[in-house]
Chains A and B, each alone.
Chain A
Amino acid sequence: MTIEFEAPKPLVNMQNMLQTVAENMMRSTSREMDENEHSIPWDYIEFMHTAMRSMGGAGGLAPVEEKPKEGAEKRPPIGYQKLAVQIEMLAWGDVGYYLVTPGGGLGAAAVQAAGTPEQKAKFLARFNEEKPTFAAMCMTEPGAGSDTSAIRARAVLDEKTNEWVINGEKIFVTAGDKSFTEYEKLGKGFIVVWASIDPSAGRAGMRAFVVEAGTPGVKITKLEHKLGIRASDTASISLVDARVPFENLLGSPTVEKTTTGFKGAMATFDATRPLVAASGLGVARAALEFLKEKLKENGVEIRYGLPRQKLTSVEREVIDMEIMLKSAWLMVLKAVWMADNKKPNALESSMSKVKAGDVCTKITQKAVEILGPIGYSREFLLEKWFRDAKITDIYEGTGQINRLVVARQILGYSGSELR
């Protein structure tokens, strides 16, 4: 091992390619999508699916496992690094659009993390087929956010039919509509629903179920109107006696009185937090670049190299933003590098999310502030990025819950020692 910061060639190439996509397909229609919430950007969805498929990479948040060419030297894996770079670049284009990128998203990530090899084979193949396909994760409930132990959804086994019968109400399901509703232009998606098979066992009884699109008893009850990321649908889903086959339960159906099973499933988040952080940093970079461009147009140059006390306040702000952004990005890179190299990264993963949540919120806020009316006006996208960015400090664990995770890790405390 060594310390190295040279971006691998495949990453750079992909980044360049995606920048073109971001500029041509996203930025040009960002405003329109923002102002027409709940419309679906089919052109983008179809283009991205074709493009990713031709690269063999359609699928979403789980990295594509590289098959080494015969005789070729075995390279260290960069699957998660690739995803982080890809997501950052797409979010730089438009984070709302990025969330509409076809693929398995968090749903497939859950299958990847908790599923058996057979389940992975069964549920993940579809993302690479002809039609773009979505999957979503249903964790949050009206009464359960970061506190997943408060989940009330219930799954009961009907032994006669060997089916799970699920009842519950899920909210804030990103891409829930595209994953569950059977659109003609889309392949058959699924949602992964978290429910308890044994409420007396607390977290140990929690399981994830794959619920196929169109399953009877499941309904999209609402599409949210949001502060930002309006190109992406956020659904409420109710499940009333929804039946899924026995084998759609991810992992083991036996309830042990420990939380190891649940913790294993929560490992999904160790893999995805830095990716969500990456998406926030893409927005932050867009905002910072826009700010610098506007300052330059107005004759304000940032004088790097000067001591603090000689800089103007605007220069200080910009320099601070760069420090934040660059260091946060390195934290993301480290966390995904660890994931690629199978190093436990719960700490680094949450840290990167804490940092990125702060950074993208601050940078977009400050950029709007510094540019005054130009920042606030809907003539430019900056005000939208400010609204978009805020979600990064909320979803996939709020900044606060991630601070708690970081604190427990560094203090060596369990959940009951530090609540």
Chain B
Amino acid sequence: MYSFEPNEEQQMLIDAVGKYAENDLRPAAHDAEENRELPKKLVSKGWELGLLQASVPETYGGFGERSAVTGVLAVEEMAYGDLAGTLAVMTPSLFATPVLLGGSEEQKQEYLPKIIEGEWAPYTAALVEYAFDFDPTALKTTAKAEGSSFILNGEKAFVPFAKDAEALIVYANLDGGTQGFIVKKEAAGLSISEEREKAMGLNALPMYRIKMENVTAERLGGASGHDFELILSAMRVASAAAAVGVARSSFEYAKNYAKEREAFGVKIAQKQAVAFMLAEMATEIEAIRLLTWEAAWKLDNGKEDAHTAAYLAFTGAADMAMMVTDRGVQIYGGHGYIRENPVELLMRNGRGFPMLLGTAIV
């Protein structure tokens, strides 16, 4: 059957996350960006919504089962509030979800309960590399087997909360394919940049460079490793959903502004030039939302083309977010360019999606 309506449980989650996004994240977004800091309370409150906790089975301290569909619904809703806040709230998932998807039984038991049962704590992951041709399936960071463990060498960029992280998953090139490796905070040879990353957007989210010189690490999934594509696709649909949320936010600001702002005696929304832009924004948002839902559903149901679907959703979402957030600024005109107004931050965040793969996962 085809069906396009979240179930009751999902709807409750959407409502709860939506409230948090509207009442907490949205109002805080501007100052967080300017001050380069997210209030701790804000992040804890998001964590307490229990998105990650609900995707981990009871045996590992959670209270539910993972569903990519539920995940993308929640992420869109939260990212509508603020992208930096969303990525911060979800940072522990960057570690926990890959463990859940590809970890060995021991790894699950060792890490999941302490991440899930406690307060928000920075467990994170490092995927992005600082190169124009960054490609998650052809990484420059290398892993070499040495006995039962692995030796990592290379550099990573845009690693959220690396400074405080208890442990992180580092993705590296092992014999031509990508694999994740668990690296503990105290590992010898691991160095984390003093300075935070400075980027066009997402300045509220503390991100760091990390360097590995002969770091000893444990392979995710143990000796036999794991299916990285599963993790990559989970990252892609999460990013796509976040892009939909960001775009929706910009669209909504622009729509409301266009209905207030007057020019030549009418609201600018009454001008077809503006109204058509809004119609196209809404259409593209809906198109990518559905593509993301379908990809997530295919992942949940192990469909053959699920990975291609996730890739297409992610690729389409990045373009859509740019198009929509750009128009958000355009509709505000000169005011859109001013940092007091929310749409310029959304545009900066909207541009980040192709680069920021690996900063969200569901």
Contact = CB atoms under 8 A, between A and B. Distances in A.
B151 interface: no
Contact of A406 (B269, B283, B290, B293): B283
Interface string A202-235: 0000000000000000000000000000000000
A1, A2, A304, A354 interface centre (most CB from chain B within 10 Å): A2
Interface in B301-354: 301, 307-309, 311-313, 315-316, 318-319, 354
A8 B1 contact: yes
Contact of B2 (A6, A310, A331): A6
B259 to A, nearest CB: 6
A124 B111 CA distance: 66
Interface string B1-37: 1111111001000000000000000000000000000
B181 to A, nearest CB: 21
A142 B259 CA distance: 35
Contacts of B69: 3
A413 interface: yes
Contact of A330 (B279, B287, B311): B287
Given A305-B307, A319-B312, A327-B316, A4 B287 contact: no
A307 B138 CA distance: 11
Contact of A1 (B3, B287, B298): B3
A306, A328, A408 interface centre (most CB from chain B within 10 Å): A306
Interface in B206-233: none
A357 to B, nearest CB: 11
Interface string A344-385: 000010010011000000000000000000000000000000
B3 A328 contact: no
Interface string A289-316: 0000000000000001111111000000
Given A407-B279, A413-B269, A417-B270, A4 B1 contact: yes
Contacts of B133: 307, 309-310
Contact of B290 (A6, A327, A407): A327
Contact of A2 (B6, B134, B290, B311): B6
A403 B269 contact: no
A4 B2 contact: yes
A140 interface: no
A326 B294 CA distance: 10
A307 B290 contact: no
Contacts of A304: 308, 311-312
Contacts of B313: 323
A38 B294 CA distance: 42
A326 B286 contact: no
A17 B362 CA distance: 39
A76, A326, A333 interface centre (most CB from chain B within 10 Å): A326
Contacts of A310: 133, 135
A274 to B, nearest CB: 13
B275 A418 contact: yes
Contacts of A317: none
B109 interface: no
A288 B362 CA distance: 32
Given A354-B279, A406-B279, A327 B287 contact: yes
Interface string B266-303: 00011010011011101100111011011001100100
B291 A334 contact: no
B276 A403 contact: yes
A107 to B, nearest CB: 28
B173 to A, nearest CB: 15
Interface string A331-342: 101100110000
A125 interface: no
A322 interface: yes
Given A324-B316, A355-B283, 17 more contacts: A3-B3, A3-B73, A306-B137, A307-B133, A322-B312, A323-B315, A330-B293, A337-B4, A351-B282, A351-B286, A403-B279, A404-B275, A406-B283, A407-B275, A407-B278, A410-B282, A413-B270
Interface of A: 1-8, 76, 78, 81, 304-310, 319-320, 322-324, 326-328, 330-331, 333-334, 337-338, 348, 351, 354-355, 400, 403-404, 406-408, 410-411, 413, 417-419
28 contacts: A2-B5, A3-B5, A3-B7, A5-B2, A5-B297, A6-B2, A7-B2, A78-B1, A307-B134, A307-B135, A307-B136, A322-B312, A323-B312, A323-B315, A327-B290, A327-B291, A330-B290, A331-B283, A331-B287, A334-B4, A334-B290, A355-B283, A403-B279, A403-B280, A404-B276, A407-B278, A413-B275, A418-B270
